[in-house]
Amino acid sequence: MDGYNEVEKLSVFDRILLFLTGFLAAYQIAIGIDHFSKIPIIAYTIGFGILLLAGLLIIILGFEVLDNPIVVIISSAIPLSLSLGLVWEFLIAFRIIYLVFIIVGYLAIMATRILPIKNSLPVIVVAVFHGVAGLIIFILPEVLVFSGQTGPIFSLVGFGGALIGIGGLLLVMLRAGKSLLSRQTIFRILPILLLLMTAFLVLGFSAI
Amino acid sequence: MNVLPAFGEKIKLYWPLTKSMQTGLLLSTGLAGFMTARCPVMHWYAFIGLVISLYLAIAGSTIINMWFDRDIDARMTRTCTRPLASGQIAPNQALRLGLTLSVIGIGLAVVMKPSYGLIVFAGLFFDVVVYTIWLKRRSAWSIVWGGIAGAMPILAGRVLGMGHLDAIGILLALAVVFWIPTHILTFAMRNYQDYQSIGIPSFASVYGFKLTRAIIAFSSLIAAFSIATAGIMIGIQIGFLRVLVVMSTGLLVLTFSSIIHPSDRINFGLFKYASVYMLTAMILLAV
């Protein structure tokens, strides 16, 4: 048991990475999203706010905080909110329908995680809504860059989205007990993953 | 030749008496209170004077508190190695140092502005006389006075910056008063056995853990609301307000998690987060 705790203990390097993640997310909330309209500002505040709190809470509570069932519910809000912001800004015709999709999706994720459901429905619900949101964050910026609507740096948002997808997948598999990587390996790469995804998103959004 | 190393040793020995983290956090509230006044010109003399006077007064009162509590500190595992409790420093020397720092701190504060000095003095009086000497060993409600004492630095800073007492200053002080229970009660719950063993009444021992957690949640809610309202009234940038809302959400999520899924880890996490929250809030208000 001691060895188990030893492996999960945060190193100073992990703490620095997580602090930088929180700092970058706070910077983005404070300064980086002022030029957007109301709904994207709210959406990005939620997305980067969760990244800020994730960094701080992992530093304070350790990696064990990720064992809490509520983590899946809260972390799902990152891709859902960020994708909503992107759709609201760039796919104007789909604004309302996507807003409804996000609300329904988030309620479904919450319900299937809170209710005692034994079958695979909770995983399917996360896969569908998290998956669609993740694909939008990954693909839409690249399409916008290739079509010349935004500067090339905006494609970093897509890379950030891909990392969100990888992080989300690792956490879901970890919780389901079907992880490809060991628990120790996931916790070793998670702080780097969080910092990279935040940095890519912050840099990417600075291009518009 | 040996003067410098000897002085260094002395500083090393006496430094823990000031509880540098706690003193630093209280000092940061005072600085934030001053900077919220948004003076068009930065008055460096006032700023440096504020830092010196507040630091000396807070450190002085902390040393006097530790001098008074040395008997109970010696009986608790967590505190028995403190310099006074373990006999590394003579009580009279510590008392002399505490009184000297306090007198210089308050004296400087009075010279800078009498109303500012009066509030700094009130903070020391509530902390040392009312909280530590009179109520701490008698009533769990002593924490209210501890909270009022803790709110004096931010109020003092605001009064020094504005030149008078105003609604924002009172609101900022109220925020700290209601933040203190989150900070102190979580700590008291973590060290419940220690406090029980020496007979110090705490909310957890008198009213139980469940009610204590509810009080923490209630006070956190009011503290977060007060800081946000004060921020709006001060006119902080909208982006900083968003960060404040996110940080407040984190505080509330942790407090309500501690009610729904109580555990030592969440409790101690809340204690640590509360300090980070206050420091961040002060930076956001001050910038």
CATH number at residue B234: 1.20.120
Given a cut of 50, whether residue A1 has pLDDT beyond it is no
Which residues form the domain of A124?
Answer: 2-205
Q: Per the CB < 8 Å rule, is B245 touching A52? A: no
Q: Per the CB < 8 Å rule, is B273 touching A34? A: no
* pLDDT digit string, tens, across residues B142-198: 999 999 999 999 999 999 999 999 999 999 999 999 999 999 999 999 999 999 999
- What pLDDT sits at residue A180? 75
B106 with B194, same domain? no
- Over residues B81-92, the mean pLDDT reads 94
Per the CB < 8 A criterion, the answer to whether B283 and A26 are in contact is no
Per the domain annotation, does B142 fall within a domain? no
DSSP state of A92: G
Instruction: Name the amino acid, one letter, at A72.
Output: V
Q: Per the CB < 8 Å rule, is B250 touching A64? A: no
B126 with B220, same domain? no
The token pair at A196 is: 């990279």
- What pLDDT sits at residue A67? 81
The token pair at B165 is: 């007492």
Helix axes B264-286, B209-234, angle to 10 degrees: 10
The overall average pLDDT reported for chain A is 89
- Over residues A66-70, the mean pLDDT reads 81
Q: Which residues of B touch A64 (CB under 8 A)?
A: 265
B265 membership: H or E segment, kind and range: helix B264-286
Which residues form the domain of B126?
Answer: 1-136
* A133/A50 Cα distance (integer angstroms): 16
B72 with B172, same domain? no
The token pair at A82 is: 């960020």
| Final residue in a domain of this structure, among B97, B115, B136 | B136
Helix axes B238-260, B167-190, angle to 10 degrees: 30
Per the domain annotation, does B143 fall within a domain? no
B13 with B59, same domain? yes
Per the domain annotation, does B150 fall within a domain? no
B191 with B131, same domain? no
Given a cut of 50, whether residue A172 has pLDDT beyond it is yes
- What pLDDT sits at residue A173? 74
B44 with B4, same domain? yes
* A74/A190 Cα distance (integer angstroms): 16
Number of independent structural domains in chain A: 1
Q: Over B195-225, what HEC string results?
A: HHHCCCCCHHHHHCHHHHHHHHHHHHHHHHH
Helix (H, G, I), strand (E, B) or coil at A34: coil
Given a cut of 60, whether residue A112 has pLDDT beyond it is yes
Cβ-based neighbours of B266, under 8 Å, separated by 6 or more: A61, B254, B257, B258
| Of A171 and B163, more confident | B163
C-alpha angle B219/B157/B229, rounded to 5°? Answer: 40
Residues of B with CB under 8 A from a CB of A: 237-240, 242-243, 245-247, 249-250, 253-254, 257, 261, 265-266, 269, 272-273, 276
- What pLDDT sits at residue A66? 84
Calculate the alpha carbon distances from A181 to A159, A169, B125, B274 in Å. 21, 11, 58, 34
**Centroid of chain to Cα A139:** 15
B65 with B193, same domain? no
Helices (H), B129-237: 142-162, 167-190, 192-197, 203-207, 209-234
- What pLDDT sits at residue A6? 46
Q: Per the CB < 8 Å rule, is B243 touching A29? A: yes
* pLDDT digit string, tens, across residues B59-78: 999 999 999 999 999 999 88
The conformational region for residue A34 under phi > 0 = left, psi -120 to 50 = alpha, else beta, is alpha
Question: From the CA of A57, how many Å to the nearest CA of chain B?
Answer: 8
Given a cut of 60, whether residue B252 has pLDDT beyond it is yes
- Over residues A152-173, the mean pLDDT reads 88
Question: From the CA of B244, how many Å to the nearest CA of chain A?
Answer: 9
* ipTM for the whole complex: 0.91
- What pLDDT sits at residue B6? 81
* A91/A86 Cα distance (integer angstroms): 8
Per the domain annotation, does B146 fall within a domain? no
The overall average pLDDT reported for chain B is 93
Q: Which among B142, B153, B204 has a CA at the least distance from the CA of B176?
A: B153
- What pLDDT sits at residue A3? 39
- What pLDDT sits at residue B71? 94
The token pair at B274 is: 């509360």
Q: What b-and-e string marks burial along B19-46, b requiring 16 or more CB atoms within 10 Å of the CB?
A: beeebebbbbbbbbbbbbbeeeeeeeeb
- Over residues A142-157, the mean pLDDT reads 94
The token pair at B244 is: 């404040």
Instruction: Name the amino acid, one letter, at B191.
Output: N
CB atoms within 10 A of CB B10: 11
Number of independent structural domains in chain B: 2
Q: Tell me the residues of chain A between 17 and 36 that have a Cβ less than 8 Å away from chain B.
A: 26, 29-31, 33-34
Query: Among residues of chain A, what percentage have pLDDT more than 70?
Result: 95
Query: Among residues of chain B, what percentage have pLDDT more than 90?
Result: 87
Q: Which residues of A touch B273 (CB under 8 A)?
A: 56-57, 60
Q: What is the CATH number of the domain that holds B84?
A: 1.10.357.140
B129 with B37, same domain? yes
- What pLDDT sits at residue A8? 63
Per the domain annotation, does B149 fall within a domain? no
B130 with B1, same domain? yes
* pLDDT digit string, tens, across residues A182-193: 888 888 899 999
Q: Per the CB < 8 Å rule, is B239 touching A31? A: yes
* B218/B179 Cα distance (integer angstroms): 10
The token pair at B179 is: 């933040």
Given a cut of 60, whether residue A2 has pLDDT beyond it is no
- Over residues A122-135, the mean pLDDT reads 89
Q: Which among B116, B123, B105, B120 has a CA at the least distance from the CA of B56?
A: B105
Given a cut of 80, whether residue B93 has pLDDT beyond it is yes
Cβ-based neighbours of B158, under 8 Å, separated by 6 or more: B33, B34, B36, B37, B166, B168, B169, B172
Question: From the CA of A54, how many Å to the nearest CA of chain B?
Answer: 9
DSSP state of B35: H
Instruction: Name the amino acid, one letter, at B215.
Output: I
pLDDT category at A7 given cuts 50, 70, 90 is very low
Mutation target to probe the B interface, by most B beta carbons within 10 A, among A60, A64, A75, A198 is A60
Answer whether 0.80 is exceeded by the pTM: yes
